[in-house]
Structure 1
């Protein structure tokens, strides 16, 4: 994981300059931008976003956070997002980004060195666990995407796609170990996406589990007839979904070991 930071702040006061200078000593490269959607929309993608919030909630900063939330939520790569602010502005950042996207909020006043060390530790962990299994979640429901990513991202590197075609695009660019695929998607159904995955030699061996909102016998039999690795009900609790994914990879590893 590279150490480029998009640093969003209203102005460079003493604390901001101290923060930026200390980031440089840890090898971070920062692009400092104002909370303005017109400016943010022209920025390239950054693996780390730091929001140095105003003392009070302001419309332009709220709009900027919503924009960055949407961008981080739809990114195929892991983005570390941090907010630094006072009481109400910090709560606003937590509300907008949610637990699944906001890595950590820091309440001012802060200890600059401690905050930077924590960010640096997070980056090092991302690099250390770069060999984590990669899971692609394909679902047209953004809430479901972010929910499942939040559940799995502690153990796995999670990519997201909000349509079948976007999912195929992710598969073309990244190594994926498991696909969690929504069965009931519009336009291109989950069944059609599975057919597309299996028709390509580069993706045909990638295991696929279907996500389905329906648990009636007729629907389940329809899903099973396509021979996915497994089907998972969207209504199952987080612990059960995680356990199913963990069990799959545990069995896969055991099989690999048995084959030598």
Structure 2
């Protein structure tokens, strides 16, 4: 289990030092950094769990805007220590679903180690799930699909083909759910681009679409998509189709040995 934590807070703060010492005593490897985007970016092999100690949320505004993108791009979870008002302000910049834990000040430093061990355990369990990238220009559809699948899979979202290519340049996923009709770069064009690059050519792709006519299907057969999932499918049927796909892949891998 990953026991590294990135502790973000002022190095001059007595509480930050106390928290770091207590976490180390609880078995964590603690990497400390100032609440500064440049300082965070300089850290190589950053841990997947960030713990923020917030004194002045306005001073950390740039950091949280930066983290808003990083929680998706680098697949991290964050926990926050701060006052009730500070935490409320932070949630204007950080998606609540990626906040693993919130600790209101004054925090019990002795209990923090135990609570963060629970956070790390849950994060480790989450990271064991298969990764799915959903590509759709409709924000509502993206959020809907994520809500249907996130209990079973790690779900990442991008709203264009270009964004998908950019995301996949830095991240590996187990399946792509690709909208067929998108402006600028259509789903079939995105799949063609994916198949032309060695780093993405073998990533399984399923079309997520309202188009199931023969002409649309035939247009992309040469790129060998794993199948078609209709946006009108009931949530249970969509989940069952994806579960079936991964189970089939698992059996294929077993049969190779």
Q: For the superposition of Structure 1 and Structure 2, which TM-score range results when normalised by the shorter chain?
A: 0.7 to 0.9
Gapped regions of structure 2 (runs ≥ 5): none
Q: Paired residue for 2:229? A: 231
Deviation string for 1:152-179 (max 9, x for gaps)? Answer: 4432234555553554466576653311
Q: Contact (CA 8 Å) 1:210, 1:223: kept in 2 or not?
A: no
Q: Paired residue for 2:204? A: 207
Q: CA deviation at 1:192?
A: 1.0
Q: Paired residue for 1:18? A: 18
Rounded Cα–Cα distance in structure 2 between residues aligned with 1:143 and 1:67: 23
Alignment partner of 1:120 is 2:90: no
Give runs of ≥4 in structure 1 deviating > 6 Å: 141-144, 235-240, 254-260
Rounded Cα–Cα distance in structure 2 between residues aligned with 1:44 and 1:149: 30
Equivalent residues in 2 for 1:130-141 (5 A)? 130-139=127-136
The 1:7–1:150 alpha-carbon spacing in structure 2 relative to 1, beyond 3 Å, is farther
Rounded Cα–Cα distance in structure 1 between residues aligned with 2:237 and 2:110: 39
Rounded Cα–Cα distance in structure 1 between residues aligned with 2:250 and 2:38: 48
Q: Contact (CA 8 Å) 1:137, 1:180: kept in 2 or not?
A: yes
Rounded Cα–Cα distance in structure 1 between residues aligned with 2:93 and 2:234: 23
Q: Paired residue for 1:103? A: 100
Rounded Cα–Cα distance in structure 2 between residues aligned with 1:67 and 1:129: 23
The 1:130–1:89 alpha-carbon spacing in structure 2 relative to 1, beyond 3 Å, is closer
Q: CA deviation at 1:90?
A: 1.3
CA-based RMSD:
3.8
Gapped regions of structure 1 (runs ≥ 5): none
Matched length? 249
- Normalised by the size of structure 2, how large is the TM-score? 0.72
Q: CA deviation at 1:80?
A: 1.3
Q: Contact (CA 8 Å) 1:94, 1:105: kept in 2 or not?
A: no
Alignment partner of 1:49 is 2:47: no
